[in-house]
């Protein structure tokens, strides 16, 4: 029979230090002594909640990553990914986590976030503290000009809220606004294909009356939500695969090329096809969704 | 257009009895290039403004078209655009003061041949506060969103008249300044009163990103633009941004988050209490979604160097509003973070 031995003094000291530094940090933050950048990104907050994303990344979704080093380690970078999630944009969070864990020189990613997210209580400021910025060309241009790495999801709401039957079929890429900005700012585009995020909340339908009731743009119905209440918000433990493709260099097109409609549409379509191909490839590589 | 180095300019300040009109009159005294300073308003300024010549006139009155040309100003600064009711300016009169007053003043400028520059002290409220808005509005984005509040529509209308005048009279340098929210220890505005409430109500689940313009910079930028006016609108906004929650924590305030069902009612009551009256809706939107402006034009073209960024202004306000009970004293009171600026 095992008798639990008393912890050695050094471990106790370590615990005490952790407790003290944590309480110090909490008190310091409650006094307003922390840093936010001009966009409202709070690095300390992001680092503090990062273990939650790490857990989801390693244990819950067992994310496999391919080609993380395709993301430039410095300078302006535009990551373009397929979008899904239905309830919370976990795909963006996992791309950022993948960079942190797999990239030799990780940076915190900024993300272009759908406008209506800033109308949802709590989500509005939590996303901002994690690096979310309202999706519009002005913000994207300014971030890229400041040499930041930015994620965009050109499918937007059409991809985020699509039903389970449409999974892994990329939706239309809007008007290609992201290509215009990338051309204007001469930023390389890194296409990213995310596989696995479509199974976390299988959307079967949506409820218009509920959406009207809580003032949300839409309320999805999944096998567990809203039937199980808050428990239904628990994402299913699917298996994920994220692939970063080779960067597309746009610096050769020169200024003014962003006004060339056909070039913008061609590039936008090229990026979309690359991601779609990589998604199909990734689905085969990943194998079954849950085991 | 540089005024310095030439003969002394006669500067006319419309709305000299307002806080910012008086502050500008004080700031301009003794500056190189500044000659006579004349102030007009419907009531005399509260404090002593020294050598400033005061002319009693209401800018809404058509007689202003006779008075202004007689004064022969080189530069006219319009400080009579008011954001919230003040003593002698009830909320019902705000539309009249802002829109009709500006129209009359512009009509008077048409009859003033020697006028070289016209500066308006407007508001960044023209950009509004929206969930998907650019984080940094530049001057060309003014009417990107529908003007939803009454004050916004007033500001939009008067800026329209202002632009018209600028087109008709290209020899006059017309500069509209768009001010972000000012903050300062002795400033008496609805926002500063809001921060001085014993318990501050905020909207539950929202934490707006704000830019706080220090009073010194608000006056400094106004004076700088008067001495070196540029054409077109200029944002007067500080560098950086700060979230409302952090501002309140730095001030050590107790906060209560209002759930969506009752917040409208409470906000209306609080808005009335703070004296923001009809403009309460602007404040409500600002305190939900926040607003940020780009300040490149101010720094590079007007050439004004800001003394405080948003965080510095918040810290200065927190320090000078001291004596308030602090809920969470900093565990490192002597740290260099605390004493910066």
All structural domains of chain A: 63-286 (3.40.1130)
Summarised one tens digit per residue, pLDDT across range B25-50 is 999 998 988 999 999 999 898 888 88
Segment 134-153 of chain A within 8 Å of chain B by CB:
134-136, 138-139, 142
**Domains along the sequence of chain B with CATH:** 9-183+213-239+292-308 (3.40.50.720)
Q: Is pLDDT at A160 greater than 90 in this prediction?
A: no
Which region among A116-130, B213-227, B234-248, B298-312 has the lowest average model confidence (pLDDT)?
Answer: A116-130
Asked whether the beta carbons of residue B249 and residue A30 sit closer than 8 angstroms, the reply is: yes
Q: Please tell me the distance in Å from B60's CA to the nearest CA on chain A.
A: 39
Chain A residue with the nearest C-alpha to that of B245: A32
CB-CB neighbours of B117 under 10 Å = 24
Amino acid B279: pLDDT: 60
Closest CB to A121 among B206, B252, B330: B206
**DSSP letter at A74?**
S
**Which residue is it, tokens 């969070």?**
A93
Amino acid B258: pLDDT: 85
Confidence label for B330 from pLDDT (cuts 50, 70 and 90): very low
C-alpha span between B102 and B176 (Å, rounded) = 12
Confirm or reject contact between A116 and chain B (CB < 8 A). yes
Q: What is the pTM of this model?
A: 0.88
Calculate mean pLDDT across residues B316-340: 53
Chain A residue with the nearest C-alpha to that of B253: A31
Q: How far is CA B156 from CA B5, B72, B105, in A?
A: 35, 29, 17
Asked whether the beta carbons of residue B241 and residue A24 sit closer than 8 angstroms, the reply is: no
Most confident segment among A110-124, A134-148, A203-217: A134-148
Summarised one tens digit per residue, pLDDT across range B39-84 is 999 989 888 888 899 999 999 999 999 999 999 999 999 999 988 8
Chain B residue with the nearest C-alpha to that of A214: B260
Confirm or reject contact between A34 and chain B (CB < 8 A). yes
């Amino acid at each position: 029979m095992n008798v639990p031995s008393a912890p050695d003094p050094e471990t106790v000291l370590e615990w005490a230090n952790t407790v003290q530094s944590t309480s110090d940090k909490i008190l310091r933050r409650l006094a307003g002594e922390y840093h936010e950048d001009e966009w409202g990104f709070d690095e300390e907050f992001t680092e503090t909640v990062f273990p939650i994303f790490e857990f989801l990344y390693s244990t819950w979704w067992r994310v496999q990553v391919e080609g993380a080093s395709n993301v430039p380690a410095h300078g302006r970078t535009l990551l373009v990914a397929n979008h899904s999630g239905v309830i919370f944009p976990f795909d963006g969070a996992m791309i950022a986590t993948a960079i942190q864990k797999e990239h030799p020189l990780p940076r915190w990613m900024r993300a272009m976030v759908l406008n209506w997210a800033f109308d949802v209580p709590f989500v509005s400021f939590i996303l901002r503290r994690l690096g979310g910025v309202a999706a519009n060309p002005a913000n994207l241009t300014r971030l890229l000009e400041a040499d930041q790495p930015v994620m965009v999801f050109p499918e937007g709401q059409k991809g985020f809220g699509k039903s389970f039957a449409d999974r892994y079929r990329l939706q239309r890429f809007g008007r290609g606004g992201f290509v215009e900005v990338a051309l204007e700012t001469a930023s390389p585009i890194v296409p990213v294909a995310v596989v696995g995020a479509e199974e976390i909340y299988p959307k079967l339908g949506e409820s218009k009356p509920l959406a009207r009731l809580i003032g949300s743009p839409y309320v999805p119905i999944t096998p567990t939500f809203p039937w199980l209440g808050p428990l239904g918000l628990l994402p299913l433990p699917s298996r994920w695969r994220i692939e970063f493709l080779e960067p597309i260099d746009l610096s050769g097109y020169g200024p003014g090329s962003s006004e060339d409609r056909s070039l913008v549409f061609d590039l936008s379509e090229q990026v979309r096809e690359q991601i779609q191909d990589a998604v199909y490839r990734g689905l085969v590589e990943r194998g079954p969704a849950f085991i | 257009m540089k005024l310095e180095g030439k003969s002394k300019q006669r500067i006319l300040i419309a709305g000299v009895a307002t806080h910012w009109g008086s502050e500008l009159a004080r700031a301009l005294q003794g500056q190189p290039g500044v000659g006579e300073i004349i102030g007009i308003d419907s009531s005399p300024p509260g404090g002593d403004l020294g050598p400033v010549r005061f002319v009693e006139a209401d800018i809404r009155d058509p007689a202003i078209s006779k008075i202004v040309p007689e004064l022969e100003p080189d530069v006219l600064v319009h400080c009579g655009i008011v954001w919230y009711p003040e003593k002698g300016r009830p909320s019902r009169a705000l539309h009249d003061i802002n829109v009709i007053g500006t129209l009359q003043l512009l009509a008077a400028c048409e009859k003033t041949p020697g006028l070289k520059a016209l500066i308006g002290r407007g508001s960044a409220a023209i950009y509004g506060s929206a969930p998907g808005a650019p984080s940094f509005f530049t001057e060309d984005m003014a009417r990107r969103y529908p003007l939803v509040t009454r004050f916004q529509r007033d500001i939009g209308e008067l800026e329209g008249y202002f632009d018209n005048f600028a087109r008709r009279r290209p020899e006059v340098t017309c500069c509209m300044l768009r001010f972000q929210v000012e903050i300062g220890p002795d400033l008496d505005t609805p926002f500063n009163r809001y921060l001085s409430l014993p318990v501050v109500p905020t909207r539950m689940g929202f934490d707006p990103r704000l830019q706080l313009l220090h009073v010194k910079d608000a006056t400094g930028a106004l004076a700088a633009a008067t001495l070196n006016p540029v054409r077109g609108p200029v944002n007067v906004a500080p560098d950086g941004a700060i979230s409302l929650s952090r501002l309140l924590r730095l001030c050590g305030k107790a906060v209560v988050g209002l759930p969506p069902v009752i917040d409208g009612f409470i906000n209306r009551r609080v808005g009335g209490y703070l004296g923001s009256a009809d403009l309460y809706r602007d404040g409500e939107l600002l305190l939900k979604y926040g607003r940020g402006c780009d300040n490149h034009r101010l720094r590079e073209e007007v050439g004004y160097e800001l003394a405080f960024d948003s965080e510095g202004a918040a810290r200065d306000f927190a320090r000078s509003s001291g004596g308030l009970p602090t809920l969470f004293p900093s565990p490192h009171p002597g740290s260099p973070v605390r004493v910066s600026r």
